[in-house]
């Protein structure tokens, strides 16, 4: 087994390598003057079980091309099996035709990864579960729920006062999984989205008065939904509002929006390498998924069950 990484999240890759007690593979991933990507594998991988850790986060297209070119390099170097470890799967929000004459980009990306030579994909909290069916190869979709549940139990002494909240109807299944682990009640924020990137909170489904509310979702991008949901929950009498989000995309002015909001804290994972602005924010905290990813890689290499991680 050998673990390699592109440029998207070297810090996480190094942490996973430490957990697996193996060195991070040697590879050069650089750019020519015109920004064309060049990859060179600097060690023998013939017959090896190769794992490429690469989030397709900003700049999404560059990091996706790095992954595809690395996979091609390993295939042509006679690696026995290539697994793409994609903690954050970009283009996952384009999983269906939302209007006429629009693409299903998640399917296109799945085809590209498969054709590049990847035998298996290992990812975390896909935005839409059906994307697993877009691949013609096995896909292991890991869940951050165990990591988040441990953090909640360590932070809240009175766990019986916690209420898990889904920021929209589409995330109810995900929020229910966390609520079940915490043995906590569930509430839903009913919102209407007039156009992409903007949302308007309509009402709260559930009694949140006096509760420590935990907003749980997979992606925070602009932060508008979270901030609006936090305002609505506090207006409904919530004692506090904390957000637990797997993928901290946090584009544009999202960090400033979060730091200026009524959120007590935003907890994200390191599936996307945090920027300096994120690290400096007083109410944003990062928890590591290195152990989860590392254990899944180990079990995949040993042909052991990955789903048992969540039993």
Is position 93 annotated in a ligand binding site? yes
217 annotated as ligand-binding: yes
- Is the bond leading into 59 cis (omega within 30 degrees of zero)? yes
What's the rounded Cα separation, in Å, for the pair 127 and 145? 14
Element (H or E) spanning 65, and its range?
helix 60-76
Helix (H, G, I), strand (E, B) or coil at 18: helix
Beta bridge partner(s), residue 122: 85, 140
- Tell whether 223 is in a known binding site: yes
Q: Which residues are catalytic?
A: 191
Among 16, 22, 18, smallest CA distance to 1 is for 22
- 3-state secondary structure at position 263: coil
Q: Is the dihedral of CA 218, 222, 223, 225 positive or negative?
A: negative
Structure tokens that stand for 178 in this block: 């966390």
The answer on whether 168 is annotated among ligand-binding residues is yes
Does residue 36 have a known ligand-binding role? yes
Q: Is 34 annotated for ligand binding?
A: yes
C-alpha 261/C-alpha 223 separation (Å) is 10
| Residue stretches of the annotated binding site for ATP | 34-36, 93-94
| Residue stretches of the annotated binding site for D-ribose 5-phosphate | 193, 217, 221-225
| Residue stretches of the annotated binding site | 34-36, 93-94, 127, 168, 193, 217, 221-225
């Amino acid at each position: 087994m050998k673990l390699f990484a592109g440029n998207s999240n070297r810090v996480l890759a190094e942490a996973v390598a430490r957990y697996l007690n193996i060195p991070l593979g040697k590879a050069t991933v650089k750019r020519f003057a015109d920004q064309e990507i060049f990859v060179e594998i600097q060690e023998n991988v013939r017959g090896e079980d190769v794992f490429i850790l690469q989030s397709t986060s900003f700049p999404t297209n560059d990091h996706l091309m790095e992954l595809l070119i690395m996979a091609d390099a390993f295939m042509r170097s006679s690696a026995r099996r290539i697994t793409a470890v994609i903690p954050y799967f970009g283009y996952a929000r384009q999983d269906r035709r939302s209007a006429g004459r629009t693409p299903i980009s998640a399917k296109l990306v799945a085809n590209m990864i498969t054709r590049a030579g990847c035998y298996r994909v290992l990812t975390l909290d896909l935005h839409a579960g059906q994307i697993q069916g877009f691949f013609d190869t096995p896909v292991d979709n890991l869940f951050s729920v165990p990591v988040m549940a441990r953090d909640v139990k360590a932070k809240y002494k009175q766990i019986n006062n916690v209420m898990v909240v889904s920021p929209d109807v589409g995330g109810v299944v995900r929020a229910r999984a966390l609520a079940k682990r915490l043995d906590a009640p569930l509430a839903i924020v009913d919102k209407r989205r007039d156009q992409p990137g903007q949302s308007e909170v309509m009402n709260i489904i559930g009694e949140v008065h006096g509760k420590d509310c935990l907003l749980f979702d997979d992606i925070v991008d602009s932060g508008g939904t979270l901030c609006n949901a936090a305002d609505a929950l506090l207006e409904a009498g919530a004692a506090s509002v904390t957000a637990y989000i797997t993928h901290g995309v946090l584009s544009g002015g999202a960090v400033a929006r979060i730091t200026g909001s009524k959120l007590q804290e935003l907890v994200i994972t390191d599936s996307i390498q945090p920027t300096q602005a994120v690290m400096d924010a007083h109410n944003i905290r990062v928890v590591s998924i290195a152990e989860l990813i590392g254990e899944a890689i180990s079990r995949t290499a040993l042909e052991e069950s990955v789903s048992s991680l969540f039993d």
